[in-house]
Structure 1
Amino acid sequence: MRKKKTIILILFSLICGLAACSNGNKAKVQSVSNGDQYQKVGSFSYIDQDGNSYSQADLDKKVWLANFIFANCETVCPPMTAHMAKIQKLLKDNGVKAQIVSFSVDPKRDTPQKLKAFGMKFDANFSNWHFLTGYHQKDIETFARKSFNTAVSANPTSDQFIHGTSFFLINQKGQVIKRYDGVQNVPYKKIVNDIRDLNKKER
């Protein structure tokens, strides 16, 4: 019973607390600017699902989407990853270029091999979708907070993790400019169009 209550609390926190429900507003797209200022993604150098180094330098002058997941997730991560896979296919079908990065919030257990197996369950195309690990738990908690203004924490009573469920859009300058609901009513077309518009601005 205690485990069941814990899972319910995690779900509530994820969907309402950390997913930015925005005061009951049903909008699924949010600007993340503070006036004219955007949050910039901090420097990082991690390891992807193939065991290769992957850093912000690989994303220089590129548009990309980011989210936070873990392979052992029992709640929101599978649907989030399925939604991201659909976005990846839509991008390809519409000839829109973007990179996708999924940061593991469980780096201790999420080896490159485990992340690759997780991505393969959803037919992820690893040519432009990287699942990252290779850091300490505290590192990803700090990185998520400082770069994306989203919380990540281990649940002390289970093997699950509390983390935000947004999809983040990052522009060519490495700035987080929008966040979208990654669990329910995902605005697929809006995301594709926003990425297309960003790519046009750099031409």
Structure 2
Amino acid sequence: MKKLMGIAVIALVLFLAACGDSSIEDFSHTDQRGEEITLESLKGTPWLATFVFTNCTTVCPPMTFNMVSIQEALLEQGIEEYKIVAFSVDPGTDKPAVLADYLGKFNVPDESKWHLLTGYSQDYIAEYAKDNFKSFVKNDPSSNQVVHGTSFYLIDKNGEVAHNYDGYSDVPVEEIVEDLKVLIDK
């Protein structure tokens, strides 16, 4: 049964990824520093986006570690014009202080680039992920975990999804760095 559920989730994620346009809808959320972050405040700078939650016992810690590795590669290349945005898929638990503590567990080279977002409902983020990133977010009814996609998204200066990548395994760090360079130069 679990295997069949997993196959159904993967099929749904692939289906959703093939649908829709690439523009991100406006948002206004609170980050781990208690600052308001909006789509408008991010415009003019490319950004990497993903979905995580702090009490995740499976994919989120490796995904966050992978994002740190991307940031390290960006720093090695001298690239500074970017942001990293992680939408919490468990906003009821993930208050700003909890998100700050979570990020503090990773050896983040430049925390000022990171915005871990919260301040919305579970239903909101499930719809927002589906509508804007074609990503799946759903509470697991048998645990305190949230099932969600594991992609990283590269958003251009205008707030449109330019690329998406596997954020969990076989993360194409060099490709992401090169794609980000292109977006900075546009």
- TM-score, length basis structure 2: 0.89
Q: Is residue 193 of structure 1 aligned with residue 174 of structure 2?
A: no
The equivalent residue for 1:151 is 136
Unaligned regions of 5+ residues in structure 2, if any?
none
Alpha-carbon distance in 2 for matches of 1:164, 1:200: 29
Which residue of 111, 119, 127 corresponds with 2:95?
111
Q: Is residue 177 of structure 1 aligned with residue 162 of structure 2?
A: yes
Aligned length: 183
After TM superposition, list the pairs within 5 Å mapping 1:6-25 onto structure 2.
12=6, 16-17=10-11, 20=14
Which residue of 104, 111, 129 corresponds with 1:126?
111
Alpha-carbon distance in 2 for matches of 1:112, 1:98: 21
Letter in 1 for 2:59: V
Relative distance call for 1:173 and 1:102 in structure 2 (3 A) is: same
Q: Is the 8 A contact 1:18 1:163 kept in 2?
A: no
Q: State the percentage of identical aligned residues.
A: 40
Alpha-carbon distance in 2 for matches of 1:146, 1:173: 17
Q: Is the 8 A contact 1:15 1:165 kept in 2?
A: no
In the TM superposition, residue 182 of structure 1 has moved relative to its aligned partner by: 0.5
- TM-score, length basis structure 1: 0.82
Q: Which moved more, 1:68-77 or 1:119-128?
A: 119-128
Please tell me the root mean square deviation across aligned C-alpha atoms, in Å. 2.4
In the TM superposition, residue 189 of structure 1 has moved relative to its aligned partner by: 0.3
Q: Is the 8 A contact 1:91 1:98 kept in 2?
A: no
Relative distance call for 1:136 and 1:13 in structure 2 (3 A) is: farther
Alpha-carbon distance in 2 for matches of 1:14, 1:81: 25
Unaligned regions of 5+ residues in structure 1, if any?
23-31
Relative distance call for 1:75 and 1:128 in structure 2 (3 A) is: same
* SS at structure 2 position matched to 1:162: strand
Relative distance call for 1:162 and 1:18 in structure 2 (3 A) is: farther
In the TM superposition, residue 148 of structure 1 has moved relative to its aligned partner by: 0.6
* SS at structure 1 position matched to 2:33: coil
After TM superposition, list the pairs within 5 Å mapping 1:6-155 onto structure 2.
12=6, 16-17=10-11, 20=14, 38-96=21-79, 97-124=81-108, 125-155=110-140
Q: Is the 8 A contact 2:23 2:159 kept in 1?
A: yes
* SS at structure 1 position matched to 2:111: coil
